[in-house]
Each structure stands twice: as C-alpha cells, then as structure tokens.
Structure 1
C-alpha cells in the first residue's frame, strides 16, 4: 500500500501535467469495489412490505440508492430471485410474493423492477449485479406457491429439508433449468454482474437428512462418495454458468459470496487457521476451486466475524483468502448488521468496521467490500455510514478492472467544450471513436480542478461525476461565481477501463 502511494507521488512528479487514467488501477481508493446487498426475501431491505404501489416502490428504491451513493458505494447487489420467483418481467418463473403480496401477481403493466433499478443505479455511477438464489424454492411455513411455480409443475426436481423445498443439484435438468433462468436476465437486461450468495446445499440441521440417495444412484457421474458427488454437482453448475454468461455477454461479471471458511486447517493443511463450519465439508461447496479454475470473476466471502472472534478471526480469513485468489478479484463481505449487537463486545466498538476496511486496504490482493445489508445503514450501522461518507469513502471510486475479461482501453471523448452560463458550467463532448474491441463508451468520468491545482486523474477527490450511461453533456451547478476551473472528461467501457482524458478545458464562471 505504502509503495503504491510513493509510486503515485513519483509518477505525478515526473510525468507531464495530465496523467494516464490507466496508471491508477492499484492506487486505493481510485479503484475499489464498494457494494451493498439489497435483499428482497421476506422484504428485508426492499420493498419495505409487499403490495406497495409502483410509485411507492420506486420512491423507496430511489431513496435507498441515494443514501448508498452519498455513502460512497458504487455497486448494488440486488436480489432478483429469492425463491424460484422473480423481481423482473422477462422471466419463466412467477412474480415474487414479496413484490405484490401474492406469488404470481404482476405489478402494473409497463413496470419492471429490475429494469428500473438498473437505470437508476447506472445514472448514479453504480453497477447493478443481479443476485440469484440458485437452489432455494420455498421458504417453508405457510407461503403459498402459484400454479406456475416449479415446485407445482415439476415436484420431482426438489427435495425437502428443514421444511423448505430445494432444487436437487444432482439432477442434470435442474442444472440446465437454472442456467436458462439466469440467461433470461443476462440476455434481457443491461446488468453488470450475476451474483450468488452462500446457499448451495442447505446448512446442516440436527436430525435432518438430505434426501438425494436416488439421484446419486441414477446419476453417479463416476463418484462413489456422495459428498464428493454433491460438491461436483455444484461445480458443474458454476462451470456451466461461467461458460454461458460470458458466451452471451463477455462483460457481465460472475461472482459468488460463499460462507467465510473454505476449509479449516485441521481438515486440510491448505485451509485457514480457523475452527468453524466449512463450505467444503458441511455445505458441499468447494469455493476455493471455483476461483482456482477461473470459473468466477470475483469471490466475495462473507467474513462476518470480528478481529477478536476466536474460532474465526477477521484478519486470519482475509489473509487466507488473499493468498487464494489465483488472479481473480477478492471482495470481502462485511457484517454491517452486527454493529452494536450484544453477542460480542467487539461489535459494540464503533471502530470495528472502519478498522476492517483499513485492514483490507493494506492488502493489495483485496479489491473491496460488500456490506450486508442495505437496511443496516438506516438502523444499527448509521455511524458506519457516516464514517464511509465523511472519511473512508469520501471520494468516489471506480470499480476495479478485470483484464482477463477486457483489457482494451476505450478512446478518449471528442470535441470537449466548457461554457459558463448563469446556471453553472455547461460541459459537452462527442462519443469517442470505436476502440479495437468495437466499444465506444458506456459511461464517463468528469474531473474538475481549481485554478492552479495540479491537473491529474490520479486523485479521486477531483472526480465531479461518474455515470455508467452514454450521456454526452453535463451542467456543473456547484461552482462558485467568478472563479476559474479546469475540466477533464474520460470515457469508460462496460468493464470500466478508462480512456485517456480529453481536455483540460478552462472556464471562468459568471
């Protein structure tokens, strides 16, 4: 970290006045993933309750996005398929019960929650990752499913565990169906990523048994150990999705957020020095393998532990995962919902999460964070939000680059102009010429500098606006009268590679 900062200072001193946008990739926090999970299951985060009017749903989502934008976030992980249902219209599955109050009940014609969320996120310079629960089909209890739900149409594709119906991962038709469901969204929506959380095979419940022996007997795939067979079933789905998503849209990121422990070192010498439930043994999810094989673009382990948690210290797990990224991105899942909780004294320390973020930034193999969950920032974690807004995330950040998906830099915007008017400074430019890969621009970054200030795109404090839209004009209404400013604009492609800047253009305000 210190070396990066020193390098940045040296580069800024030696190079000419305007510095390449690409040299900033490793310099925190100009590039950092800052995500927030927005859970729809049981109306945890949004909408606040089922059956709200469309206007109420939109207003709630806009308020939520505005809050997280102010706190410095640049990615929304929106749960669009909580239980084999949908928060989007282009779906082969029924509308979610948590949207309008009954599964299968459609909202007003013309309203698509996912489409609306994407547009609003992109206009704020935030990515939208569509979060799917691949195997969960019901939440148990008295929740009624519609006649078009897969549990009603194909009951043979599920087993019951802990009172909940779950797709049987060992069935080939289940894997094919889940891939089709996800590709509906990849093909039909302008999303930035596909995201899974930690629910694969169910978390163990005492006295419960997974009823998949018949499936194992029918489709053994060369395995004699049912545990290895289960892990392979999940592996096959992950590999199929990696291939399928990137076949249709190379720029759509695929990421998974597993439980924080892959294996404990007492189970495997390559595991972490921890002693808790593990993905590998209890959930039949070989999370490290997915990264090692390059089947995911990012891994987002849920390290919902404090620094002093004896069985699984935060720092121990961050260090372990950072040594097992195999060149892919590592974003750390952080537990905003545990702030001020009584379960452990460490969580009542206001510095717990801020110190965790500082710890991540000291490790150049960690590219950011995702917080669970949105609602926490209006309840127990309000102070954390203030720390982000006023300190740690004070300046904007671009998502980190993924060169294995796209390393072609877009061309710079053309014909950049700035003109002072009574209502502010009017900025205008033309789209860049097409780059080698056929892309022009999917977004822009506008930088502003006071007169006499060093003109460089290295420092995120000079970022005036980030948008993941292809607009080519902007009015800066935040200027002081009678002052002189310099402006730059850069182009972003779909994977947030940044062009050389156009400008600088100077203007004196009226």
Structure 2
C-alpha cells in the first residue's frame, strides 16, 4: 500500500497526554488523508505501555507520566475507529538515555553499557548507548519488541536511526574486543571507521535484524517490519546501519530513510541519490522520511507540495512526516495543504509534467 504516514512523539507534543487528545489527532489525520501512524512506544529508557519485561528488570512498568494509562492501547482503539493502521515506533532503540548518564537502564545494568575507545560510556550527540553488539542487550531489545507484537493488535513495528544501530565509536568494551580478536587474531583498530572493523560490527547488527524479522514473521507473517535509518552510506559509517544489505537480504518491508533536509533543492538532491541505490523491486518499499518540524524549523507549504510532487515523479508512492505537531501549527496550515491535494488520492504526474504541477501549486498557494 502507499504509505501516508506520520510519527507521533511524546516530546514537544500534546497528543499522548490524554485519550481525548489521541482521539482528536486520529480524526484529524484520517480527514487529512493519512493511513498509518507511527506512535512512540520506547523513549529515554521507558515504555509508553505497561511492560512486564521492564517491571521485572527495572521495577518501572511504564513511563511515570502515563502511570495508570496505556497510550498504545488508546491509540490502537482510536486509530482503528477511523481506519488508520498502527506501527509502534521504538524510538530510542539501543540508546538508553539522553543526557542522563545512562539513565534507569544502565544504573541497574552497568554491564550493558557501550564503550568508546577510552572505556567511557558511549555518548553521541547527547544520547548514551547500550552495547547493541552484546547478546544480552540484543535479547532484551528483541523481547521488548516481541512483547508488543504478541500483546497488541498492531500492524507492524518500526526501528529508526537507533534500531538497529550503534555509533561507530562504540564496540571497545572488553567482550566485543575479545570477539574481534578471536576472529582476526588482532585487536580492533583505534580508528573506529577502519573498513574491516566497521563492517564486522555492522554485520552483527544486520544479523540481529535478521533474527528480529524472522521472529516477528513467525508470530504473524502479515506484520510489517518498518525501518527509518540514516541515509546510506552515511548511516553505515556513522551508526553501523548497513541498509543496503538489509534490503538485499529482504529484512525490511518498508524503509523510510531520514531525508531531513530544510529546503527543496537539498531534498531533491538526496532523493535522486537514494533512488539510484534502489532496484525496481526495492523502490516499492521506499517512503522517505520528511522533516516538517524540529526546534525552530518549520517546513513551508511550497516545499511540502514540491517534495510530494517530486516523490511521485520518481515513482515514490508515499512518505512519512516527522512529526504530527508540524501539521497542526499556524491553524493546521500544512494539514490544509495536504487536504487541497487531496493527499489520499494524490498520485502525481509523469516527470515531464513536474514544472506544470509546481506552477499549479504556486497558484494554489497564492489563493490559499
């Protein structure tokens, strides 16, 4: 199906604060033409649903902000009511915390910490990391995902730039160093981007993804495994995300590379590069991630129209927007843009007609 999706966060957003907010958001999305939501269910070391796994390991059943509720269950009910599919998003993946020195997880399980070459807790851009290469950590993450798949009426699961992932500066814990030494009869290079060292660690994450994919499909073959990695091959070099191999091995059903560019020219350039990396069959799985709001940045109406038109001209039938609140600002301005297309029926035109489409969009924008 053509994905018309949006991420629902629990940061800088009011949606998950109440059942009423959730119901209103799902109604708005359905009316605007969306057919999938990706709600956050794993953030800063807490689940956004009651988890027996988290309770048994860390004595915290759910993010304290949602104690006594089950936001995931509420989203499923309200989304189903208006015909929207639900694919829970494990936002933090193998990251344990943000600017919290490892948070609840590493306070209880310090042996799970990822280490850089200095032996320090792995920190990149403020995120502190569990060791995604460690079998125990992988088992924990696998069980967390499978618990949702087994206990909730969801349509799939989603990982992103932190699942499966590990900053390339990680892997210098004693256990991983010893595994590498046994394989190559030498210690890992000090250069974290040494090609052999980089690919060896990326392969461990790819094999984890293969197991995750197989176990999800064993529960229900119709469930979608959706991933939103960083763009290849930057994602491989920086976060050990070998998305090219994931596609070649058939380990992902829908892929949303994060083409988070703040102007159309940059977005177009990356779309051109990304689509060249996909064969015809793989292209059917592609629905780019598009940034509409982050911090003080807001996508313009014109850029939104151009991005969708260009996607269709390149044979890309859908996209996922980061994130919901960006549709609602300025009196639902971007939401209204999508309704004018209309988004749920918009199939685009051949590339030769792109200039005409953009002229029409400019005319509509002036009227709007």
CA-to-aligned-CA distance 1:23-81 (integer Å, 9 cap, x gap): xxxxxxxx5210000112xx332456xxx6xxxx1011112212211211000001101
Return the match for 1:45 from 4, 9, 13: 13
In the alignment, is the contact (CA less than 8 A) between 1:354 and 1:384 conserved in 2? no
State the match for 1:125 in structure 2: 83
Any residues of structure 2 matched to 1:118-197 within 5 Å, and which? 118-132=76-90, 133-141=92-100, 145=104, 150-159=105-114, 160-162=121-123, 164-197=127-160
State the match for 2:273 in structure 1: 317
State the match for 2:179 in structure 1: 219
- In structure 2, the gaps of 5 or more residues are 55-59, 115-120, 189-195, 348-368
Any residues of structure 2 matched to 1:297-312 within 5 Å, and which? 297-305=253-261, 306-309=263-266
**Aligned equivalents of 1:357, 1:297: Cα separation in 2:** 21
Return the match for 2:310 from 350, 359, 377: 359
Query: Could you say what secondary structure the match of 1:330 adopts?
Result: coil
Indicate the structure with greater helix content. 2
After superposition, the Cα gap between the structure-2 partners of 1:338 and 1:351, relative to the gap in structure 1 and judged at 3 Å, is farther
Return the match for 2:342 from 385, 392, 409: 392
Q: CA deviation at 1:96?
A: 4.5
Query: Could you say what secondary structure the match of 1:371 adopts?
Result: strand
**Aligned equivalents of 2:144, 2:166: Cα separation in 1:** 21
- In structure 1, the gaps of 5 or more residues are 1-30, 101-106, 264-277, 398-510
Return the match for 1:92 from 28, 32, 53: 53
State the match for 2:364 in structure 1: none
- Aligned residues between the structures: 320
Query: Does 1:59 find its partner at 2:29?
Result: no
Query: Does 1:252 find its partner at 2:259?
Result: no
In the alignment, is the contact (CA less than 8 A) between 1:72 and 1:388 conserved in 2? yes
Any residues of structure 2 matched to 1:99-498 within 5 Å, and which? 99-100=65-66, 107-108=67-68, 111-132=69-90, 133-141=92-100, 145=104, 150-159=105-114, 160-162=121-123, 164-199=127-162, 200-201=164-165, 209-210=169-170, 212-220=172-180, 222=183, 225-259=196-230, 261-263=231-233, 278-305=234-261, 306-309=263-266, 313-323=269-279, 326=282, 329-337=285-293, 341=297, 348=300, 350-364=301-315, 366-379=316-329, 382-393=332-343, 395=345
In the alignment, is the contact (CA less than 8 A) between 2:112 and 2:130 conserved in 1? yes
In the alignment, is the contact (CA less than 8 A) between 1:85 and 1:96 conserved in 2? yes
State the match for 1:466 in structure 2: none
In the alignment, is the contact (CA less than 8 A) between 2:7 and 2:324 conserved in 1? yes
Q: CA deviation at 1:175?
A: 1.3
Q: CA deviation at 1:201?
A: 4.2
Return the match for 1:79 from 31, 36, 40: 40
In the alignment, is the contact (CA less than 8 A) between 1:45 and 1:373 conserved in 2? no
After superposition, the Cα gap between the structure-2 partners of 1:353 and 1:91, relative to the gap in structure 1 and judged at 3 Å, is farther
**Aligned equivalents of 2:341, 2:284: Cα separation in 1:** 28
In the alignment, is the contact (CA less than 8 A) between 2:229 and 2:243 conserved in 1? yes
Q: CA deviation at 1:161?
A: 2.5
**Aligned equivalents of 2:327, 2:287: Cα separation in 1:** 19
In the alignment, is the contact (CA less than 8 A) between 2:38 and 2:158 conserved in 1? yes
Q: CA deviation at 1:363?
A: 3.0
Give TM-score scaled by structure 1 length.
0.57
State the match for 1:10 in structure 2: none
Give TM-score scaled by structure 2 length.
0.78
In the alignment, is the contact (CA less than 8 A) between 1:115 and 1:189 conserved in 2? yes
